[in-house]
Amino acid sequence: MKQTSSLEPYPEAFKAAASAQVQPHEDELARDLHEGVCTNPFAFLGRHLQADDGLYRLRVFAPGCFAVSALSPADGRVLCQLQRVSDSALFVGFVTLADSDYYLVRLESDLGVRDIEDPYRFGSWLGQTDAWLLSEGNHLRPWEKLGSHPCSLDGVAGVAFAVWAPNARQVSLAGEFNLWNGRCHPMRFRVECGVWELFLPGVESGALYKFDVLGADGQRTLKSDPYALSSELPPGNASRVMGLPAPVSDRAAVRQQGNALDAPICIYEVHAGSWRKPMGQLADWHFLAEHLVPYVVEMGFTHIELLPIHEHPFYASWGYQPTGLYAPTSRYGSPASFLAFVQAVHEAGLQLILDWVPGHFPTDAHAMARFDGTALYEYADPKEGFHRDWNTLIYNWGRHEIRNFLVGNALFWIERYGVDGLRVDAVASMLYRDYSRPPNEWIPNEHGGRENLEAIEFIRNTNRVIGEQAPGAAVMAEESTAFPGVSAPPWAGGLGFHYKWNMGWMHDTLSYFEKDPMYRRFHHDSISFAMMYAYSEHFVLPLSHDEVVHGKGSLFSRMWGDEWQKAANLRSLFALMYAHPGRKLLFMGSELGQLNEWNHDAELDWHLLQNGLHAGIQALVRDINQLYKSSKALHERDDEPGGFSWIEVNDRLSSVYAFMRQGRAETDQI
């Protein structure tokens, strides 16, 4: 910013008046500031023109300081020495400035002397258009304005903070920059959109912060930023200032080709913290870029799917209870290192899918629960807003601000980190109001039904926005019921997902392979039944992490027989999955014939590859991936009845099935 030279020193004639003209209401203001209940700091703090004498009254709230003065930024002259109001931390003085001029504030305390820009001399961060779009819930990219953003206002570098808390009595900033004293920096309330904002000069990227929220319930709580782009390493939970990653472009054509309905899609599902543990420690994104990505390429997979990487306080939740939807968890490195990992995935010719959790969030006090002293992000009634199974809170999809928060988040990961798709977790729990609830413990919709109409509309809108704004990005649903049209377009009455996990196929097929071959004849339809509904949705065949946890054992251990027979059954299972219509998903370790159930605290049992039996299973998966990708008959017509035909389906006694897969070309047959 251009400095001016028209600043005048504090006039001698006014020195005596300065200390005498403490206005009666300033004692009350000092008390409100001290107690952290000042709701309109910009009406008092900073400089304000006095109508009677043309002077500017300057107020600075400086807890812990014993002297405050205003300086000329041009030459460092003292413009005025501010006077303390009673015994408070509020200092008042007078200065003569033209409207275009500005000043520095010198703070003197036991910690030393600091010259700072006065944050209360700056205008609003949110423009009128942004405020209107946020209030309407139609801001496609709310993360461009909410959260913390390094920027410059009036030529001064700092960080703009903004948080949505419409029912809060007062919100302040607390962080490393003010020794976590939230009283120092009360924020401006934008009543038209419910957002509190403040531009704080001198704060740099990497600074830790929270919002000091005085809620509508009278309780004061330090809250993490829901829109934070980076967070403190758990168990810490402060937010970290970080600039937005640059937009990732030129992915549309690659996505459209790799995620198409007729494309070969074989997904390797990964928990980043337990694939490998170098030196017994969590792997970071650099390690995974150097080791995981080449391994996935060697094994012939086309996609990597990561269990949720959003910031989450409880490691054993595997990321499915996130508190920071916009922040990659700091457990595996910085956001920049995650971006480098994504780039490595793309450079290897792979696509990346993220598990995404828009259905619920944990009850941790530092996060979104009762954010402004009210049920803001969640439904207020526990019959709607509390999930018994997971002890989590359910997003209120009826609020347009919440829909905006979530839809914007989906777009954020695709646009700013370049991920190629999302797998939406626990869709069934979103669709039904009575999901996992006893009678009289749920609230019907407006028509008296069990469907959550607000969630359905949210899902449709999310998929519509992604389709319009990120062509080619795939959205997959983990949906465990028979809800119709999950992968049908909204205009046809569907939810608009591109793919749906086929949980029925998974359950029936695993149940069959667990049985003694002597008794499989009585369950012959378990294998063939999936073809009765195979074309009702665009299916993914999942052998996911859910099938190797909670006492179920590993896929290998679930197979019938002794060690040799288990290996043979597992190879047969994989061969059937790859020959069956539907895209493929395999959780890490299954390709090794992992003996033990997945443990998130340990790496996979890589030593098993020294055993030829397990090395053979891995070789089968590698070879069958290559066959699947190179044979159009195995993927080109997954959703067309003409792509599959039974040859033998009734040989129950021998448990034999024979079928043919057909591509579009007459010669493409297997």
471 shares its domain with 530: yes
Q: Are 79 and 37 within one domain?
A: yes
Catalytic one of 101, 415, 454, 478? 478
Per-residue pLDDT at 9 exceeds 50: no
User: Three-class SS of residue 333?
Assistant: coil
Q: Annotated catalytic, 478?
A: yes
Region 327-337: mean pLDDT is: 98
Residues 514 and 523: beta-carbon distance below 8 Å = no
Radius of gyration of the chain (CA): 30
Residue 363 has pLDDT above 70, yes or no: yes
- pLDDT at residue 447 above 70? yes
> Do 509 and 406 lie in a common domain?
yes
Cα distances (angstroms) measured from residue 562 to each of 15, 38, 551: 95, 72, 19
Say yes or no: 111 and 132 in one domain.
no
Taking only the tens place, the pLDDT of each residue in 258-272 is 999 999 999 999 999
Answer yes or no: is pLDDT of 552 > 90.
yes
What percentage of the chain exceeds 90 in pLDDT? Answer: 88
Question: Are residue 461 and residue 566 in the same domain, yes or no?
Answer: yes
Q: Are 264 and 303 in contact (CB under 8 A)?
A: no
Query: Of 208, 240, 272, which residue sits at a domain end?
Result: 240
State the average pLDDT over residues 611-626: 98
pLDDT tens-digit map of 187-243? 999 999 999 999 999 999 999 999 999 999 999 999 999 999 999 999 999 999 999
Active site annotation includes 284: no
Residue 335 is classified by DSSP as: H
What is the CATH classification number for the domain harbouring 496? Answer: 3.20.20.80
pLDDT at 87 (0 to 100): 86
CB atoms near residue 460 (< 10 Å): 18
Judge if 54 and 182 occupy the same domain: no
Instruction: Give the Cβ contact number of residue 605 at 10 Å.
Output: 17
Per-residue confidence (pLDDT) for residue 641, from 0 to 100? 97
Q: For residue 2, name the pLDDT band (cuts at 50, 70, 90).
A: very low
Q: What is the pLDDT of residue 308?
A: 98
pLDDT(555) > 90: yes
pTM more than 0.85: yes
Residue in this structure with the two tokens 């008959």, named with its chain if needed: 633
Range of the domain at 311: 258-353+400-430+454-638
> Does the pLDDT value for residue 21 go beyond 80?
no
Beta bridge partners, 648, equal 658
pLDDT band for position 28 (cuts 50, 70, 90): confident
| 647 inside domain | no
How many Cβ atoms from other residues are within 10 Å of residue 293's Cβ?
A: 20
Q: Are residues 549 and 464 in the same domain?
A: yes
The one-letter amino acid code at 647 reads: I
Contacts of 541 (CB under 8 A, 6+ apart): 502, 505, 506, 577, 580, 582, 583, 584, 585
Rounded average pLDDT over 120-132: 95
| First and final C-alpha spacing in the chain | 71
The catalytic position among 197, 212, 425, 537 is 425
Listing DSSP states for 12-74 in one string gives GGGHHHHHH---HHHHHHHHHHHHT--S-GGGTSEEEE-TTTSPEEEEEE-TTEEEEEEE-TT
d(CA 616, CA 547): 22
Mean pLDDT of 414-433: 98
DSSP annotation of 422: E
Quick: pLDDT tens for 60-75.
Answer: 999 999 999 999 888 8
Q: How far is CA 523 from the centre of its chain?
A: 42
Q: Identify the residue with better confidence: 99 or 558.
A: 558
- Section 501-524 average pLDDT: 97
Burial of 383 (0-12, 13-18, 19+ CB in 10 A): middle
- Same domain for 19 and 70? yes
Q: Which of 240, 273, 290 is the endpoint of a domain?
A: 240
The predicted pLDDT at position 497 comes to 98
Percentage of residues in the chain having pLDDT higher than 70: 95
Candidate from 43-47, 200-204, 281-285, 405-409 with smallest mean pLDDT:
43-47
Same domain, yes or no: 134 and 111: no
Q: Domain total for the chain?
A: 3
Q: Is residue 447 part of a domain?
A: no
Checking if the pLDDT of 381 tops 50, the result is yes
User: Considering the domain boundaries, does residue 613 fall inside one?
Assistant: yes
Cβ-based burial of 310 (10 A; exposed 0-12, middle 13-18, buried ≥19): buried
Instruction: Average the pLDDT over 526-553 and give the result.
Output: 97
Instruction: Tell me the backbone φ, ψ of residue 249, rounded to 5 degrees.
Output: -115, 180
CATH of the domain at 177: 2.60.40.10
Give yes or no: residues 284 and 404 share one domain.
yes
pLDDT for position 74: 81
Same domain, yes or no: 488 and 576? yes
| 317-344: average pLDDT | 98
| Among candidate residues 69, 92, 121, the one where a domain is terminated | 121
Q: CA–CA separation, 50 vs 59, rounded Å?
A: 13
In the sheet where 188-190 sits, what is the strand order?
147-153, 156-164, 195-201, 188-190
Average pLDDT, the chain: 94
